[in-house]
Amino acid sequence: MARRYEELKAVPLDEPKHESTRTPNKITSLRLGLSFILILVLASLTVIQVRPFTSGSEIVFGGTETPAGGTGYDENIKICVSNIPPPARPPAPINPWASLTIDEMVEIQNWLLSAQMNLNLTRGDAARPSDNSVYMIQTYYPPKADVLKYFSSVDHRDAPARFARVTIHHGGAVEPVIKDYLVGPLPVTPATEMTRLTEIYHTETLPYNARGYDALDWNLPEINTKIAAPLMDAYKASHFHRGLPNDSTIVAGGAGPFGFDGSFRRFWLNWQRDTPGFWLHPLNLWQYVDVSGTDPSKWDQLKIVYNHQVFDTAESFMDAFRNGTLKRVPPVTKQEDLSWSTRERIGALRDLDNLPGPRSVSFAGLRFRIDHDLQYVSWMGWGLYLGFDRDMGLNLWDIRFRGERIIYELKPQEALAHYTGNDPYKSSTALLDSYFGMGQSVRDLLPGYDCPDEAIYLPATTFSATGMMTRKRAICIFEQDSGRPISRHLGFERSEFGAVKGYQLVVRSVATVGNYDYSLVARLVIIYLHAGPSLKFEYIFHVDGTIEVRVSASGYLLSGFWDDEQGAYGSKIWNTTLGSLHDHVINFKVDLDVGGTKNSLLKTSLSQEVTTQPWFDDDWGEEVIQQKITREYIDNEDEALLRFPTNFQGGYTIVNTDETNKWGIPRGYAIHPGYSPVYNTVVGSKRLLKNANWARYNLAVSRRKDTEPSSSSMWNFNLPGAPPVDFHNFFDGENITQQDLVTWINVGMHHLPSSEDVPNTRTNTAASSFFLTPFNYFDYDVSIESANAILLQPPKKPGDPFSYNDYNVRPAHCVPQPPAAFEYYPEQVYDLDGKPAPPSTVEEMRKASELYLRIKFEL
């Protein structure tokens, strides 16, 4: 361990002076320098706790069992090593799930634009709805069989061919349509081909009215002339009555879905004041607009609702506005202070809050390994590859523990937010966030806030119709002490008293889709943001072989205008602001490979029984009421659309009946509900008729197929009546006994807003999780293998201390490297030629982040 430190040597106090060879200035500088070093040494000694131990003679499990007392730690003061993770050793030198590079995206796009392809494409940065343009380019994940073959041989000749998924908006076609293609093999050569990608969908076509969101649509002049201009006088008056200066702006956000079956593209606009935290400043005005087809001159508004009054035309609304028959919202008598919706600190300073809180330091150096090029991570027997895509962001692949593959794929699929309310906007909002691109919405994490100071960051790059974007800090990885042992016991017999430290590895990423930040953690951990709060996705890896998947939310509520008729749909959180009731449900795909790819689904139930036994004829009577276990295998997919049992009396486990542990029990991984295991409250809503059937359950298990890569698609959002991916179609009566299975697991929350959601929802309560934990997979608790543990033995004589064995792993002490100064820069944007674009203005960054949820109009 000593080699990992650089010793800080103090200069002896009696060092002789050599004045004859130094000028006075040099002498002064030297003295000041020596004084500074001496002060640093003395200051460090005052904060380093020296805990005594002695070197005992009894060796136990490779460590030393010692009584208390004796010499202390090495008192030399050392500077901690820099936090650079050691290099990883991936099982294969290729990451089959790696994202496309900028050069690859540019190469593909140029190939598509070439004359030989004859696609009549317009570059995305200049395209209109009536043009053909490339909307998306990203990696298409290879077939599982190809990947497993490659990992078995690790022969470059077996490496899966690399393909890209390309989406083209064919707005210039006689019948406009969306088409997905596979382009490959890559890199582009004469052998590269483009073929239709249809086998993953349940519909033959993707209607053009369900096309991807494009901010360019909202820069068209028709938006102003058809929707905003006719109501301009009213906008100004409404704006003034809400206490804002007349020279301000107002913004509108759109509800979704935009359509039902592709026959139209319409939605409600919700008007808000353009002020920090504008999500919390609705204006009680809504417009229903039609943006169907490819000709913006035909776009129009179909209905206007103001203060519970409905108008079919702009003319009828303006007539009521001018002749005094419009029932107006009560005016604000003075200009309001709108700072309540900002994140500026308020209130009295709390005791000792002027001091920085504790921070995590790996004094002996980082204990996880990273291959930055392959985006591979290993820690304490765990190893995994990372992927990243436009739809849902971070995903994990080939997760192994102690040399065995546990999970082939762990990937978020979709994030639903279903709102309610007594206004046109909330009652018609049912969002599916893969449409907006949760991966595309990821921005750099905040060092020291989103992730600890010593976290290691990995980049991510995505393609959009107008350019590409790289975030240097898209993903963070760190080890943390959970602050509690993963196991412990107090005992008095030999070797039964001890504890194992509960260290965890976290991989995290945060996406901000409009108003919500979502974060995901799989201890490993991740985070993500949506219209509403941010969702944080975290993958958390434990030393016993458990993986925890956690989602938490923060950010601004998608609020409504408060009046007395809104009480059943939320809570009043400010003078005229309603915190709207809504559900979040987030779906994950978990491809467990327990002892191989052939697995079964075990259902365990707990029930009550009344039983008698010969020995029951005692003081308590002849009967005993107790619980018992019932085990059964679910053999048919149709019976595998599941909810957790009442009171969680039982559960579900993926097992391999051909592989048993030492005790003859099938090896398995159990799916344990964590915090807030919910599913969607509402069933039958037309806006979620068939496009989010996965949200009706806690979990489901189906046969794994390459043609069923996801429970949803980005196109499902606008096609609830005819979704390209209908989750229920996965379940067609197939046998699931000893087959390659996929488990689809939901987390989420029923969000009943309160005033404490202002300004932002909090991640501690707005959270949900599930656990994947070994269930007879091992012969014993493998966390007992950890050397970060202590074993105590009872004293040999009364009054003596307990002796202990710490396996020679003792707390390191050194002077930590100072945290880097905080800085935060916008993401790096590239144009469609792959060249760095000029830095974006704040307004441009807002448009890219807040999408159609913030459409700005100047008054």
Catalytic site positions: 433, 516
CA–CA distance, 806 with 544 (Å, rounded to integer): 19
- Judge if the upstream peptide bond of residue 459 is cis by omega within 30 degrees of 0: no
Integer-rounded Cα radius of gyration of the chain = 31
CA–CA distance, 808 with 806 (Å, rounded to integer): 5
- Judge if the upstream peptide bond of residue 190 is cis by omega within 30 degrees of 0: no
Among candidates 767, 416, 421, 681, which has minimal Cα distance to 571? 421
CA–CA distance, 783 with 265 (Å, rounded to integer): 55
277 near 336, Cβ under 8 Å?
Answer: no
**488 Cβ partners below 8 Å, 6+ apart?**
498, 499, 500
Residue 222, sorted as left (phi over 0), alpha (psi -120 to 50) or beta, turns out to be: alpha
Tell me the three state secondary structure of residue 226: helix
578 near 641, Cβ under 8 Å?
Answer: no
The amino acid that residue 477 corresponds to is I
Instruction: Tell me the backbone φ, ψ of residue 593, rounded to 5 degrees.
Output: -120, 90
471 near 827, Cβ under 8 Å?
Answer: yes
Contacts 24+ apart (CB under 8 A), 64-72: 64/805, 64/806, 64/808, 65/791, 65/793, 65/803, 65/804, 65/805, 66/803, 66/804, 66/805, 67/800, 67/801, 67/803, 68/801, 68/802, 68/803, 69/801
Taking the alpha carbons at both ends of the chain, their separation in whole angstroms is: 67
CA–CA distance, 322 with 341 (Å, rounded to integer): 33
Among candidates 634, 716, 714, 643, which has minimal Cα distance to 673? 643
What's the Cα-to-Cα distance from 637 to each of 27, 697, 699, 723, 845, rounded to whole Å? 84, 14, 12, 21, 46
**Other CB atoms within 10 A of residue 274 CB:** 19
Q: What's the gap between Cα 640 and its chain centre?
A: 26
**Other CB atoms within 10 A of residue 833 CB:** 13
Residue 353 corresponds to which tokens in the numbers above?
A: 């809050």
550 near 527, Cβ under 8 Å?
Answer: no
Whose structure tokens read 């009946």? Answer: 657
The dihedral sign for the CA sequence 432, 435, 440, 441: negative
Contacts 24+ apart (CB under 8 A), 215-222: 215/466, 215/847, 215/848, 215/851, 215/852, 216/125, 216/127, 216/128, 216/465, 216/466, 217/129, 217/291, 217/296, 218/852, 218/855, 220/128, 220/296, 222/296, 222/297, 222/299
CA–CA distance, 257 with 431 (Å, rounded to integer): 7
The amino acid that residue 1 corresponds to is M
DSSP 8-state symbol, 736: -
CA–CA distance, 697 with 685 (Å, rounded to integer): 16
Instruction: Tell me the backbone φ, ψ of residue 139, rounded to 5 degrees.
Output: -60, 140
569-606 CB burial, b ≥16 within 10 A, e <16: bbbbbbebbbbbbbbbbbbbbbbbbbbebbbbbbbbee
Write down the H helix ranges in 204-353: 221-223, 232-241, 314-323
Write out the H or E segment, with its range, that includes residue 27: helix 24-47
- What is the biggest distance separating any 2 CA atoms in the chain, rounded to whole angstroms? 103
